Structure 1
């Protein structure tokens, strides 16, 4: 563009912004709802432009919004169209990638032969075929589920496109640990001062969303995330990665950075305890167990394992009886004495005949509250699965369960294989951290729909994408 025309365009943009300020102020003064809509529109437009011009910035904005958008809901006091905004932002990032001409990196990923991606394609086809499931009463729930699945699918491939070097991997984990630490700090603040007035008002307005918030006379902490379950699971993931990185030698991570890591890990552990999520309590030792088994030759790992075991024994058998958090943690490991856990086992046995009789399942969105909403009158409607695997086998049948298990197994196998193929000490720790978090989520799926939570699925898809990209492009590179 000629210099004169470019200057004219810049002046025009400045004039439009000057005129827009009083116009927006006048429109906003007419009505509160209009002012909120105008503000959201301006923010959305700015984010869309940023995502188109810099898809990497848009990618991290997407993660930030996905994790914290529920705090905006509580501040506004009303339910917001979160899904529409995320879908729009994701498509904008995708367009930014398509039209990006600055970086054209060639990927060696075999999209048509890779085992993990082939299983993913098979699962996608299986979900599409589910629309013909005769056991499903309504297509509405299927449409909602497919929309979320496509969102996760696009996010997976966007992550694979964005990770082009180890610097990108390091940047991702730095960002994730930062925002996870901020969530942990906010959760600790909630525990110290109590829920803020707008949060309490939102709970009172939508009590059905927070049925399990009050446990043993105290609120379970959820920070700025959707609920205590999502918060607890992510705190466990962050704590696992932090503890893995703390075992690095001084030549890999300096003492200053280790002190920062120690603080971040400690805050994660505190927030994990305050969340009251028993599944997340189990995730921590399960993830660390895989890490310890792989690194028993490392002196720092043995020290960390001894400290972890001693801390766990102190929590389980120490003379702490009046603390509600400690009691809640103990109940996760002494399940036979907990009536709610026993009731879950009874419920699982009661639906086994239905599982055997329906190899393709009862249909998508037919269990629990979703079943009551989208498929009222269905035999599974209102049945609380309390397990990711049980939820899958009831809705998608044992065929769907086999596909899901294969997908998780191959993803974990990729992460472990990448660890043994890499030589850089820091990269090896990140890779075994990925494997440990994946294993912890796989175990957590037995007791809770951990991988189905929005925040967890975001993190898990990112880790799977990173594992695939490392397998093909970065295993022999330290740049």
Structure 2
């Protein structure tokens, strides 16, 4: 009779054999072989886990998008930028391989319809008569539409199968990696890595203000770092106020303090607006009009403190934050000047100049176009420049509709623990959306992917609510 070797033993035998071959060949070939072999083995193991549970791919993508900019700085030449697409497409393949495990009817929601519609509009922009570079379009569409098109349906499928536990996983991943980023940011104040030193040589004009470093941690720049820290800070504060066990609230509170420090050392003024508008929206979602009134009063006092006093100007972080409310600020006035230039140019171009014609990709691929000479300094302005007033109106109405729909969903959630988690995700996403008027936040990782996953979780909220209430009724029968 033929002896059948169990699958696990085959894997062990293959690993041991590979190790022996590598040890023998390394002295002859060099380090390239063991490095490639290690990457291959890690990829093989990851693929096995991915096809066993595609949720691994979703969680990995979310964590990776926080770390990707840092990896690109420190390992220059490795195309980590396409890592998000590779992970998402790999996860889609794993989901299709296990297609029988998923309820595909979950995709029949307006969130997917809006996402697909915006993706189609973005694809059609390649035919924009302004004649922008196709390479610029390829680079820009990734953040503007492709990531959402890949991630939102994927998140709906996977997280619906994982049920309510998926909310906790997403929250803990975002909190843990963000706190790690804050700690890394504090380290950056003391010691810089070689990659960070090269980055600062190129970006000194925007990241060394008044002789002080604007910390950027893992992220593409200080603006993204500060906005992301404020985003997750708001989530942590709301969770710390929730009806959870004392140690959960304690961890969230410690995380919130760390994130507050991270936000402050970034020197990012846009982070203030993430907190302000996110907190305001959370009070609306709670339907707590008394708290809304008190919170509005507190925010007015804070604004008054920053705008009409000079207290704390000796502190760099407070002084930097105060400039966000200064109408004479040179940076603010430059933005208004640029917007007036865009308004004149776009009067006869209702569909804009095309994707990739402004900003980083504009400089690289469309340097011959007028729009590439103007800095958008805002994602709202960037959408207006690329898609024109027609595209901007569609995008803005889409976002406002989705946040309104999310509010309606949350108002109907009965379970208090689930409700505050969804409120935290919605409020944070809304704060990022509003802050994107001042910076390109909502179209860059990690904020963009966190917002997309948040929207998917909120749309799954009613199903999660029914599940939790059913479990509670079974454990506490009347």
TM-score tier by shorter-chain length is 0.7 to 0.9
By how many angstroms is 1:35 displaced? 5.5
Q: Render the CA deviation track for 1:159-207: whole Å, top value 9, x for unaligned.
A: 111222222212221222122222122222323xx23333444426xx4
- Whether 2:264 is the aligned partner of 1:270: answer no
Query: What are the residue-to-residue correspondences of 1:164-183 with 2, within 5 Å?
Result: 164=160, 165-183=163-181
1:342–1:24: structure 2 CA closer, same or farther, 3 Å change rule?
farther
- Whether 2:228 is the aligned partner of 1:234: answer yes
Query: What are the residue-to-residue correspondences of 1:282-293 with 2, within 5 Å?
Result: 282-293=273-284
SS of structure 2 residue aligned to 1:359: coil
- Whether 2:143 is the aligned partner of 1:150: answer no
- In structure 2, the partner of 1:118 is 113
1: CA distance, partners of 2:282 / 2:152: 25
By how many angstroms is 1:230 displaced? 1.9
1: CA distance, partners of 2:396 / 2:98: 36
1:208–1:353: structure 2 CA closer, same or farther, 3 Å change rule?
same
- In structure 1, the partner of 2:208 is 214
- In structure 2, the partner of 1:462 is 453
1: CA distance, partners of 2:325 / 2:25: 57
- In structure 1, the partner of 2:159 is 163
By how many angstroms is 1:370 displaced? 1.2
- In structure 2, the partner of 1:68 is 67
Number of aligned residue pairs: give it.
464
Query: What are the residue-to-residue correspondences of 1:239-388 with 2, within 5 Å?
Result: 239-248=233-242, 252-295=243-286, 297=288, 317=309, 319-334=311-326, 336-388=327-379
Q: Render the CA deviation track for 1:367-389: whole Å, top value 9, x for unaligned.
A: 12311211231121232111111
By how many angstroms is 1:438 displaced? 2.5
By how many angstroms is 1:240 displaced? 1.0
By how many angstroms is 1:366 displaced? 0.7
- Whether 2:432 is the aligned partner of 1:441: answer yes
- In structure 2, the partner of 1:48 is 47
2: CA distance, partners of 1:281 / 1:397: 28
SS of structure 1 residue aligned to 2:357: coil
- In structure 1, the partner of 2:474 is none
With the length of structure 2 as denominator, give the TM-score of the two structures.
0.88
SS of structure 2 residue aligned to 1:451: coil
Q: Which runs of 5+ in 1 are unaligned?
A: none
- Whether 2:124 is the aligned partner of 1:129: answer yes
Paired residues of 1:236 and 1:284 also in contact (CA < 8 A): yes
1:318–1:157: structure 2 CA closer, same or farther, 3 Å change rule?
same
By how many angstroms is 1:142 displaced? 1.6
2: CA distance, partners of 1:104 / 1:410: 31
RMSD, matched Cα: 2.8
With the length of structure 1 as denominator, give the TM-score of the two structures.
0.88
Paired residues of 1:389 and 1:445 also in contact (CA < 8 A): yes
Paired residues of 1:73 and 1:79 also in contact (CA < 8 A): yes
2: CA distance, partners of 1:390 / 1:305: 28
1:313–1:242: structure 2 CA closer, same or farther, 3 Å change rule?
farther
Query: What are the residue-to-residue correspondences of 1:180-191 with 2, within 5 Å?
Result: 180-191=178-189
- Whether 2:382 is the aligned partner of 1:391: answer yes
